[in-house]
Every structure is written in structure tokens, then in C-alpha cells.
Amino acid sequence: MKTHDIMEWYSAEELHKASQDWLVELEFIKNEQLFFEDLIKSSALKLIDSIGFEKNSYVIDALKTSQKQNNLLIMAIKKHDKNLKIMVDGIDQPEEERLYKKEHRNIMTKINEHLKDYKTLKFQLFTVLKKVLKKDKQKRLTS
């Protein structure tokens, strides 16, 4: 028995809405990443002094990698959404429409993976920054 991909049944409107929802979520993450970057920069000396920069530089590198990935996904979604005309132009192009939906599914997979990785990174960032702030607070209390 042949199974059908649920993507086959999506309308152009549903595909467009999914793309727009992804963009909103990725733009929010982009702002969140900028916040973390600023927080790290403002805590850089404390990071080096209190915990050891080498021990936590992997988190900073991971944030930069995540920012690049996020920006690449935003650009891919915008390009993908512009190509939606294939689905709504009134011309029957089954192969092009199938390829568009396949690309949509691939982008969805990449976004889901990116979101999962970003949640892990965010947890690591919170852990590192919490240690820095806790040590800084202890220093202020004891001095």
C-alpha cells in the first residue's frame, strides 16, 4: 500500500502561512540571539575572570553558528515563499508543484532541527550566564 505525504494536500495558502509563521519565529530567535550576544559582550570580562573563558567559548561559538544558520534559513524561506507563484499561477505544472512541496518539506525539516538545536544552545547559555552572575553577586556581597 502506497502512503501519501500530507504535504501533497496542502493548499498554496497553507504553504504560505507556514512560511510566514516560520519567518516570525526565526525573526524572534534572531532578536533573542542579539540579546544573548549583547549580554555575553557586557559580561565578557566577568566570563573570563570568574569561570574561565576557554571552558565556555564553545557556547559563544555555537551562538555565532546558530546566528548564521538562522539567517540562512530566513533567506531560504523568503526565496521559497517568492516561488509560491508556481502553486497559484493557474498553470498545471505537476512536476514543479511537486518539487516546490518537496522543498517545503526539506525546509520544514531544517527548521525543526534548528529549533531543537537552538533550545539546547539557549539552555547552555542560561547555564553559563547564571554561573557568571552568581559568582559576580558573591564577589559583591563579600567585598
Q: Report how far apart, in Å, the C-alpha atoms of 22 and of each of 11, 43, 49, 105, 120 are.
A: 17, 31, 39, 13, 19
Let me know if residue 4 belongs to a domain: no
pLDDT computed for residue 70 by the predictor: 98
Give CA–CA dist 50/132, Å, rounded: 6
Q: What residue numbers bound the domain in which 36 lies?
A: 11-142
Place of cell 538545536: 117
- What are 26-70's pLDDT values in tens digits? 999 999 999 998 888 877 656 655 555 666 678 888 999 999 999
Let me know if residue 85 belongs to a domain: yes
The total domain count for the chain is 1
- What are 89-124's pLDDT values in tens digits? 778 888 988 899 999 999 999 999 999 999 999 998
**Residue 137 C-beta-side C-alpha neighbours within 13 Å:** 6
Percent of the chain scored above 90 by pLDDT? 45
**Residue 19 C-beta-side C-alpha neighbours within 13 Å:** 23
pTM, entire model: 0.82
Let me know if residue 6 belongs to a domain: no
Let me know if residue 54 belongs to a domain: yes
Handedness of CA 49, 54, 56, 58 (dihedral sign): positive
Report the Cα 109 to chain-centroid distance in Å. 12
